Amino acid sequence: MIASTWPTKPLGTIPDPPRAIVWHHDASPPGPSPGALSWITSSYAGQKPSAQFWVDTQGTWWLIGQGKAWHAGTVGPPYKGVADSANSVGIETDHTVGEPWPPVMLDSLRRGTAALLKAWGHGPDRLFFHKQIGYPYGRKVDPAGLDLEPERQRVGELMRGGAPAPKPTAPAPKPLGGKPSPAQVAFPLGPDGKLYFGPRGGRGAVSGFEGTNLMATDLAPRVRGWIAQIQRAVGVTADGLYGDRTKAAVAAWQRKQGLDPDGLVGWRSWEKLGGKK
């Protein structure tokens, strides 16, 4: 079905063929939520399409817009140039956390994905999940209730149902290095050490001040809560803004704990502080 907003001209371009497909869920209430389609298409009219496709609970594919859609947001470094919004196609689904996937919907999603990847000359390894690539890692949970590898396998089986699947056209993105520890995974800014809590100015510093790291993302309301946890633990005013006073108090606390007293909070300090996501 073609949504009423389907444009005559794309709002931006992505490669032809696109380099990847990313599955999402729209977090609409359980059951059929046609209202979600109007939300996604009105975002198109607002020049910020959220996806190129929307698949409903009956398995019907709705075409929302051509060209670029702002579906992926910030992606982890290994996925840039492949699964980011500038290079990939986003498929939104009428689904939310805890909702069962109707078999007809899942079957349609897999078949459509297989057909597109095959037409584009890619392997099933070019299917990605938003919860896998969203950065900082752990920022996204969609599509909930599905695991990537089994879905890639099923899509691959469907692709092999016809002619043999062609080889990927470019090297697939490198997987992340070694498995992160539980303490790294529990750190709210991601397990890879690229972001840390600290005063503004540092390259990966998350300070809670406007215009700094993460304050333009959907994590913004939570950033100051995390910083307030740190401030309470080290005994300074819990205003959610990481400035020089917080840095000095953190450094003093780190010295007592036998940690590197750099005054910055990464996953090691976060674990010792007993911080919660």
Question: Which residues lie near Zn ion (CB under 5 A)?
Answer: 24, 130, 142
**C-beta of 113: minimal distance to Zn ion in Å?**
15
Minimum distance between the CB of residue 129 and Zn ion, rounded to whole angstroms? 9
d(CA 189, CA 266): 8
Question: Is 145 or 243 the residue whose CB approaches Zn ion more closely?
Answer: 145
CB of 160 to Zn ion, least distance (A): 28
Helix (H) or strand (E) run with residue 256 in it: helix 244-257
> Which of 97, 170 has the CB closer to Zn ion?
97
| b (16+ CB within 10 A) / e for 253-277 | bbeeeebebebbbbbbbbebbebee
- Of 19 and 24, the one with the shorter C-beta distance to Zn ion is 24
Q: How many CB atoms lie within 10 A of CB 201?
A: 9
Closest to Zn ion by CB, 69 vs 241, is 69
Non-local (6+) Cβ contacts of 113 within 8 A are: 21, 23, 91, 127, 155
| Nearest residue (beta carbon) to Zn ion | 24
Nearer to Zn ion, 190 or 198 (CB): 190
> What DSSP letter does each residue of 70-109 carry, written as one string?
--S-SB-GGGTTTTSTTTEEEEEES--TTPPPPHHHHHHH
Instruction: Please state the φ and ψ torsions of residue 130, each to the nearest 5 degrees.
Output: -60, -40
Residue 134 Cβ vs Zn ion, minimum distance, rounded to whole Å: 7
Nearer to Zn ion, 118 or 140 (CB): 140
Find the DSSP H helices in 166-243.
Answer: 182-186, 220-234
Nearest approach in angstroms of CB 229 to Zn ion is 27
